[in-house]
Amino acid sequence: MGIESALGDGYFTTKIDSLTNWARSNAAWPMPMGLACCAIEMMAFAGPKYDAARFGSEVMRFSPRQSDVMIVAGWVNYKMSHAIRRIWDQMPDPKWCIAMGACASTGGMHRCYGVVQGCDNFLPVDAYVSGCPPRPDALLHALMKIQDKIRTEHSVMLDT
């Protein structure tokens, strides 16, 4: 169809969006923001049993400059929120955020003055994981949701 018939064998055509989204979705490098018990489950998510490497996400980057997905794992208190926001701001665009567990999503059982009642108060969250703490496969599910989201994104501006 179309241009492919003119190019002959060995070529195929696609949209640049599909290409970049395919590349981005299969190399979502996490920024582990481990703050409490959820962080242990997050380690298991990257470990051999659950193996986030299957999704291209095994490369936990401890530098924000090299990561795409921030996993906020644990309860966020007001003092810590400033550090988290700074790290988020240092991550290059495009970037995504997972609020892992009840505490990061809503404050969880820490219904008190010192804990931010959900990290979406200061971060744009893409996926929420329920559970306290959620199992590593729940976090994998959130990662897959983000991959779905990346695949349907329009990353390149259309000419008008």
Partner 1 sequence: MNLELSENLRNVVDQLSEQFSDALIDIYKSTGDTFIRVEPDHIVDICKELKEEYHFIYLADILGTDRFTSDERFEVIYNLVSLRDRERLFLKVWLEEENPTVDSVTEVWESANWHERQVYDMFGVTFNNHPDMRRIYMPEDFDYYPLRKEFPLLGIPGSIELPSSTPDTE
Residue 66, token pair as written in the block = 């090299």
119 is in an annotated binding site: no
Per-residue x/- mask for partner 1, residues 128 to 147, rule CB under 8 A?
A: --------------------
Report the residue from 29, 50, 55, 122 that binds partner 1 according to the rule CB under 8 A.
Answer: 122
Stretch that binds partner 1, among 11-19, 41-49, 96-104, 120-128 (CB under 8 A): 120-128
* 127: exposed, middle or buried (Cβ count in 10 Å: 0-12, 13-18, 19+): buried
Q: What is the DSSP letter of 124?
A: -
Burial class (CB in 10 A: 0-12, 13-18, 19+), 89: exposed
97 carries a ligand binding annotation: no
Based on the shown chain and the rule CB under 8 A, indicate whether residue 20 belongs to the binding site for partner 1. Answer: no
Interface with partner 1, residue 112, by CB under 8 A: yes
* Cβ-based nearer residue to partner 1, 20 or 117: 117
Angle at 26 between CA 21 and CA 29, to 5 degrees: 110
Amino acid sitting at position 39: A
- Side chain identity, residue 69: V
* Alpha-carbon gap, residue 42 to 34, rounded angstroms: 8
Least separation, in Å, of the C-beta of 109 and partner 1?
12
* Binding to partner 1, residues 26-85 (CB under 8 A): 78-79, 81-82, 84-85
Residues that bind partner 1 (CB under 8 A): 78-79, 81-82, 84-86, 89, 111-114, 116-117, 121-124
Binding site for [4Fe-4S] cluster, residues? 37-38, 103, 132
